[in-house]
Amino acid sequence: MPEHTHQFIELNYIYSGVSKQVINGEEYQFSAGQFCLFDQNTSHSIAEMGENDILLNVIFRSETIKTTFIKTLESNKSIVSDFLLSAALSSNTKDHFIRFDAEENEQLQHITKMMLTEFFDPKDYSSEMMKQYLALIFMELARVFHQNKAYQARIADNSALFPMLEYIERNYKTVTLVKMAQEFGFNKNYLSNKLRKETGKTWTELVSKQKLHHATHLLAYTDNKLVDIAEEIGYASPSFFFKQFKRHYGMTPKQFRDER
């Protein structure tokens, strides 16, 4: 397959044999059982494959990832996990792709083959079954990613930053920049600049993001009224909560809940 880019997210799975690819100008070889997740606009080409080489390709629009999988994965999302994922992408890949060495993960291999069975031999409910299997695949891939040495190295490199992000996670409802700066013994301007330098986000953006993470959990797993959720996560104005949620997720809180 010649060099190409996509306007969507792409997941490769090597079912058997090997696959040689050029990704953003660098050569890689993938073997049976490995996965590779490509972000939008990642340039890659696939070399001619042999008779026993089988590569399976699943593509998603970015909004599909948000609406289909975010509610499944959101319970474990936080500003810490967001930072680590972003850091791993920027520091350990050449332009937004992640390689998953999952050959030894028997559960992941089994789930993937079950999904393929539903695809190639469809029966009643096969479409829904494939969605559920795909959600399980992404959760297993998240586990594989967390065990990755590059991910663990990133944790060590940012050991001073994590207590700050975890503080925001625990106290996002009532935290203020002044109070947090006092907690860590910093001038508030120094703390604000440090967070922005290390995460690429302002203090306000980090707090807002954590509030919205918790909101998605409440929307997915409770029947709380939207105004009560806004209050629960620390927003005095429901309309401001709705505006922030739509800006971040591309849909209203009601639309998010309706798509559960």
Q: List the pLDDT tens digit at each of the 260 positions of the chain.
A: 666 666 777 889 999 999 998 887 888 899 999 998 887 777 888 888 888 999 998 887 665 555 554 545 555 556 666 665 555 545 444 446 778 888 889 999 999 999 999 999 999 999 999 988 988 888 888 778 767 655 555 555 556 787 888 899 899 999 999 999 999 999 999 999 999 988 888 999 999 999 998 999 899 889 999 999 999 999 999 999 999 999 988 999 999 998 86
Cβ atoms of residues 2 and 45 within 8 Å: yes
pTM: 0.56
Residues of the chain with CATH 2.60.120: 9-153
Q: Give the long-range contacts of residues 191-200, CB within 8 A, separation 24 or more.
A: 191/164, 194/161, 194/164, 195/161, 195/164, 198/158, 198/161, 199/79, 199/83, 199/161, 199/165, 200/86
Q: What is the pLDDT of residue 93?
A: 43
From the number of C-beta atoms within 10 Å of its C-beta (0-12, 13-18, 19+), residue 58 rates as middle
Give the N- to C-terminal CA distance of the chain in Å, as an integer.
37
Torsion of CA 145, 149, 152, 157, to 10 degrees: -130
pLDDT computed for residue 160 by the predictor:
72
At position 133, the amino acid (one-letter code) is Y
- The 8-class DSSP code of residue 4 comes to B
160-258: CATH homologous superfamily? Answer: Homeodomain-like (1.10.10.60)
Question: Taking the CB of residue 2, how many other CB atoms lie within 10 A of it?
Answer: 5
Locate CATH 1.10.10.60 in the chain. 160-258
Domain 9-153 matching CATH 2.60.40: the answer reads: no
